[in-house]
Amino acid sequence: MAKRARVKSPPKRATKRVAKAFIDPRQMGLFDALEATPAAPARMRRAKAVKQKLESVEASPRPVVLSPRGAAQYLGVSVSTLKNWRAKKMGPGWVMRGARLIAYRPVDLEHFLEQHSAKR
C-alpha cells in the first residue's frame, strides 16, 4: 500500500493591521487650554451646581448608618457572623436600604452590646 503524500496548508498571509488615524475635532489635545473650549463654561456651571447640591445635602440632618463591614468592625466580629445572625433573626437590629443593601444604625449596635455584655 502506497503512502499518501502529505499536503501542506497554504502559508498564512502576512497582513499588517494599520491603525486608522481618525482625529475627532471635538477631542481636546494635550496642550489645549480648558478656557479655549466652548464647553468650559457649561462644565463650570455643572461643577458649581454639584457643589451647591453637596452643601445642601451636608446641611440636612441624616441618620448615620454603617455597612455590614463597618458594623462587624465596630462589634469585633466577622461579616459572616453578622450574616448568620441576620439569617437566624438574632444579633443587632438592621435595616434594608434598597433591594439588598443592609445597614446598621450605631444606636442599635450600642443597644446590642449593652444587652449582650457580660455583667460582673
Domain region containing 79? 68-115
Can you name the residues that pair with 104 across neighbouring β-strands?
66
Is residue 115 within 8 A of residue 93, CB to CB? The reply is: no
The total of structural domains in the chain comes to: 1
Interacting residues of 83 by C-beta distance below 8 A, sequence separation 6+: 68
Global pTM value: 0.47
Per-residue pLDDT of 46-62, as tens digits, reads 777 767 766 665 555 66
For residue 38, pLDDT over 60 is answered with: no
Q: How far apart are CA 60 and CA 21, in angstroms?
A: 51
Q: What is the pLDDT of residues 71-85, one digit of tens each?
A: 999 999 999 999 999
DSSP 8-class letter at 95:
E
Residue 99 belongs to a domain: yes
Helices (H), 60-94: 68-75, 79-87
